[in-house]
């Protein structure tokens, strides 16, 4: 599946996308024997053409949006997603307005009490649905993740968190820990909140959000679209979105619709913040902005709500989010 998905992604995305605002491209290299080689190894691709290295691309003004690494037969296959010249006209670009700010930096605290799989922590003003992980530290500073955690209530001085299983990294070949959460374990809230999935109706909105939320690293929606195409599910369900975000180790999900951006926690699918956005424009792409061709075609049964194919972009995601 991984090889087919990767081939689909590269085939659909290797063409250089350029417009008045930005350029994006993918450069790749297969069969790298050591990670230390990749910075100085010429890459293949529409722009790199076997001549340009990662450092050459950076020197030419390209920025790295995302890196995908696969281990194939003991060697490494690299795919770099580059973009440059993100320079919107201020009168045309969507304008994002917010009275609050999403904190993406991790917040750490020790677990000092446990009662019925819950713990009270001395951190206040958290958001219900905010999640994190619990880490146990062994002698010699060795660490393991023993649980997920989510905020279920909060006031000005403290919050109540509840623990739930950590099964994000599904790997049957690796042993699982049977350790439970215990006192003196470390709770890390906002785990991977800086890594995000962005669903937007068009290219301009996608680029504007990515530019304004500079603390976040957004995986390109082409990667999500390629997986949906492989699974023959061009219209993603809530489960599709959440499963993809978790397996890609993304902490937050941004969904732009109408005149707002809803930011959700990936593990709880709870809205954390809503930002107002203006000048979005009327153009929208179904199911979201992507360069993967023919994602909207194919056989599909809408089992999660009826009449989905007739919904507009915004109405579709309102249904998924359960909002009006």
Q: Does the structure show a pLDDT above 90 at 302?
A: no
Assess whether pLDDT exceeds 90 at residue 190: yes
Confidence of residue 279 (pLDDT cuts 50, 70, 90): low
Q: Please, are residues 252 and 273 in contact by the beta-carbon 8 Å criterion? A: no
CA 207 centroid distance within chain? 15
Rounded CA-CA distance 103/264 in Å is 13
- Inform me whether the pLDDT recorded for 173 exceeds 70: no
Q: What is the mean pLDDT of residues 53-59?
A: 87
CA distance linking residue 151 with residue 126, whole number of Å:
7
| Contact present, 70 and 6 (Cβ < 8 Å) | yes
> Which of 69, 86, 63 lies closest to 31 in space, CA to CA?
69
What digits encode the pLDDT tens for the residues 205-222?
898 888 888 889 999 898
Q: Per-residue confidence at 7, pLDDT binned at 50, 70, 90?
A: very low
DSSP 152-205: EEE-SS-EEEEEE---SS--TTS----PPP-TT-EEEESTTTTEEEEE-SSHHH
Q: Quickly count: other Cβ atoms within 10 Å of residue 292's Cβ.
A: 21
pLDDT at residue 242 is higher than 50: yes
In this prediction, residue 170 carries a pLDDT of 59
pLDDT at 93: 52
Of residues 312 and 303, which shows the higher confidence score? 312
Q: What percent of the chain has pLDDT over 70?
A: 76
Is the dihedral angle over the CA atoms 161, 165, 168, 169 positive or is it negative?
positive
pLDDT of amino acid 195: 92
- Give the N- to C-terminal CA distance of the chain in Å, as an integer: 37
* Partner residues linked to 23 by β-bridges: 18, 84
pLDDT confidence of residue 123: 93
Predicted confidence (pLDDT) at residue 252 exceeds the cutoff of 90 = yes
Average pLDDT across the chain, whole number: 79
Q: Which residues contact 271 (CB under 8 A, 6 or more apart)?
A: 129, 262, 263, 264, 321
Phi-psi region of 176 (alpha: psi -120 to 50; beta: other; left: phi over 0): beta
Peptide bond into 13 cis (omega under 30): no
Return d(Cα 203, Cα 307) in angstroms, integer: 26
């Amino acid at each position: 599946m991984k090889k087919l998905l990767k081939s689909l992604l590269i085939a659909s995305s290797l063409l250089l996308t350029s417009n008045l605002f930005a350029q994006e491209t993918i450069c790749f290299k297969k069969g790298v024997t050591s990670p230390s080689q990749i910075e100085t190894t010429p890459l293949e691709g529409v722009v790199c053409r076997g001549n340009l290295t990662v450092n050459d691309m950076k020197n030419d003004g390209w920025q790295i949006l995302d890196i995908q690494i696969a281990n194939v037969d003991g060697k490494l296959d690299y795919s770099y997603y580059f973009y440059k010249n993100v320079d919107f006209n201020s009168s045309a670009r969507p304008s994002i307005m917010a009275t609050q700010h999403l904190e993406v930096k991790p917040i750490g605290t020790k677990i000092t009490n446990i009662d019925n799989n819950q713990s009270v922590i001395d951190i206040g003003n958290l958001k219900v649905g905010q999640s994190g992980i619990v880490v146990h530290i062994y002698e010699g500073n060795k660490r393991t993740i023993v649980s997920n955690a989510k905020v279920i209530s909060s006031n000005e001085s403290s919050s109540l968190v509840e623990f739930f299983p950590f099964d994000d990294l599904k790997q049957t070949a690796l042993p699982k820990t049977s350790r439970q959460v215990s006192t003196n374990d470390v709770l890390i809230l906002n785990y991977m909140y800086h890594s995000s999935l962005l669903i937007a109706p068009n290219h301009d909105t996608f680029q504007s959000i990515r530019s304004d939320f500079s603390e976040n690293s957004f995986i390109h929606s082409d990667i999500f679209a390629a997986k949906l195409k492989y699974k023959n599910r061009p219209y993603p369900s809530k489960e599709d979105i959440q499963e993809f975000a978790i397996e890609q180790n993304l902490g937050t999900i941004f969904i732009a619709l109408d005149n707002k951006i809803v930011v959700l926690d990936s593990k709880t699918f709870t809205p954390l913040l809503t930002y107002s956005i203006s000048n979005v424009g009327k153009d929208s792409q179904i199911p979201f902005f992507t360069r993967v061709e023919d994602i909207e075609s194919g056989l599909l049964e809408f089992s999660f709500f009826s009449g989905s194919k007739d919904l507009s972009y915004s109405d579709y995601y309102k249904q998924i989010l359960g909002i009006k």
